[in-house]
């Protein structure tokens, strides 16, 4: 009796995507529940104060004062305008071409952050890379 050795018809392999989709949905739900959203515009900051003795006036310092409303004073002289280019030219004039001059930024605690960044950018443009910040001694300690 002859044997019939025929191959069974080849079935296309089937990929079941349902477990994969289930795992992805669980990961998405986990990420949605564990993510926290915070509003950085509502942060209340208290700037630090330094506990150091008052330093004397030094000839190679350029003191830049920044008021609460964003006005600038360089070595006691008010600056007209708030553009970085104006600040850079005033800083360069106040430093008298002294490349070793130290720019001391004394900003009001409520001064806009952008005004401090503008002074730092102006000092860089005026080729005055040495910067420091003034702080006050905390009251009541």
Q: pLDDT tens digits, residue range 2-18?
A: 666 777 667 777 888 89
Q: Show the domain range for 78.
A: 61-133
Q: State how many domains the chain has.
A: 1
Predicted confidence at residue 14, as pLDDT, reads 81
- Structural domain contains residue 6: no
- Structural domain contains residue 83: yes
Predicted confidence at residue 23, as pLDDT, reads 94
- Structural domain contains residue 102: yes
And the tokens for 29?
A: 């739900």
Strand-pair partners of 77 = 74
Mean pLDDT along residues 123-133:
87
Q: What is the CATH number of the domain that holds 106?
A: 3.30.420.270
Q: Which pTM does this prediction carry? A: 0.56
Residues 6+ apart with CB under 8 A from 123: 88, 91, 103, 129, 131
Residues 6+ apart with CB under 8 A from 136: 49, 50
- Structural domain contains residue 78: yes
And the tokens for 119?
A: 């002074």
CA separation for the pair 6, 9 (Å, rounded): 9
Predicted confidence at residue 131, as pLDDT, reads 87
Predicted confidence at residue 107, as pLDDT, reads 86
pLDDT tens column, 14-56: 888 899 999 999 999 988 888 766 554 444 545 556 665 555 5
CA separation for the pair 135, 22 (Å, rounded): 57
pLDDT tens column, 52-88: 555 555 668 888 888 888 889 888 888 888 888 999 9
Predicted confidence at residue 70, as pLDDT, reads 84
- Structural domain contains residue 123: yes
């Amino acid at each position: 009796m002859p044997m019939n050795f025929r191959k069974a018809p080849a079935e296309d392999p089937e990929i079941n995507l349902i477990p994969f989709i289930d795992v992805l949905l669980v990961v998405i739900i986990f990420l949605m529940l564990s993510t926290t959203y915070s509003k950085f515009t509502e942060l209340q900051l208290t700037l630090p104060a330094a506990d150091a003795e008052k330093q004397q006036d030094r000839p190679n310092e350029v003191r830049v004062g920044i008021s609460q409303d964003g006005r600038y004073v360089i070595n006691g002289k008010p600056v007209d305008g708030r553009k970085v280019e104006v600040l850079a030219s005033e800083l360069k004039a106040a430093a008298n071409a002294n490349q070793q001059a130290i720019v001391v930024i004394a900003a009001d605690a409520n001064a806009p952050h952008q005004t401090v960044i503008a002074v730092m950018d102006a000092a860089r443009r005026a080729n005055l890379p040495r910067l420091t910040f003034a702080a006050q001694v905390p009251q009541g300690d």
